[in-house]
Chains A and B, each alone.
Chain A
Amino acid sequence: MSLLKTIWDETFGMFVDDGALALQAVILIAAVAGAVKLLGLSPLMGGAVLLGGCLAALGLSLWRKTRLGA
């Protein structure tokens, strides 16, 4: 069981280190996908928003770590 737990922890840890960063990225991707599929946002514009959003989420995560120690 401990091996399975280790494997699960490591697999989850492959994608999530800073939980807030991962959550923001998932929300961003879902929001962009929703805007493209439901609101008619152009896919290319969606891609650009995704790029900018990822940079913003990464910047926020770094700010939290270096300024708040989170």
Chain B
Amino acid sequence: MTWTALFPTITAAFLASLVEVVEAFTIVLAVGITRGWRPALTGSGLALALLVVIVLVFGPLLALIPIAALQFVVGTLLILFGLRWLRKAILRSAGWIALHDEAAEFAKETSVLKAQAADRKADFLAGLAAFKAVLLEGVEVVFIVIAVGTAHGQTLWAGIGALAAVILVLLVGLAVHKPLVQVPENTLKFVVGLMLSSFGVFWTGEGLGADWPGADLALVWIFAIFAIFALGAVRLITKPQRGLAQ
């Protein structure tokens, strides 16, 4: 297994997971600070346990699918997933839709939790908020790890990339104890959108039997073509007075 194959897998899993974990962290932090760490950690823990069950149930099933079919299906899902991220990132960079704001998300969640404070089920609702945030963002992380790892038998490496993102966010988050607003989310989403779209085209092609020139290195030029197109699109549709955000 070469670095030309491993590097894109680990990087894509790390960067994509970083975005998702930052978003989940914002909600869990809001719950922890507003209602206490017991519901925050209980909700998060249950969600993580459910994610483990999902991986344990669906992981072995993937091994039963022939590799070409798996590459085709995973590639198709990655194209849909990657194009969606890329489209949003282009529109955000060009000023057509608002940037994701972790501070605003934190304030919104905090105000919802404060409004529920008088409810006798307030701790349950707070735990549920943490559970939903970790589960929903976690499902995306699980999908990304499986999608970028499975088709070439690199799930472990993709998992290591995702785990590194989780550890990084937890370490920085615990140190600063506030939403990670400095993380350039849209730039990350832009790069991840490019990477996932490239993986999608590459694997769908492989699933159809394409022998890409340069083997795994073809990912680099597919990425370059997507990047040139996306940056050109940003330049073309950027609203006046707005530059590349973040």
Interface residues of A (CB under 8 A from B): 3, 6-7, 10-11, 14-18, 21-22, 25-26, 29, 32-33, 36-37, 43-44, 46-47, 50-51, 54-55, 57-59, 61-62, 65-66
Contact = CB atoms under 8 A, between A and B. Distances in A.
B208 A46 contact: yes
B77 A15 contact: yes
- Chain B interface category by residue count: 35 or more
Contact of A22 (B80, B202, B211, B212): B80
Contacts of B197: 54
Q: Is the interface of B mostly helix, strand, loop or mixed?
A: helix
16 contacts: A10-B139, A15-B84, A25-B80, A25-B83, A43-B210, A44-B212, A44-B213, A47-B210, A54-B200, A55-B225, A59-B229, A62-B91, A62-B237, A65-B91, A66-B91, A66-B94
A7 B87 CA distance: 23
Contacts of A26: 76, 80
Q: Is the interface of A mostly helix, strand, loop or mixed?
A: helix
Nearest to B230: A58
A43 B208 contact: yes
Given A36-B208, A50-B201, A51-B225, A25 B86 contact: no
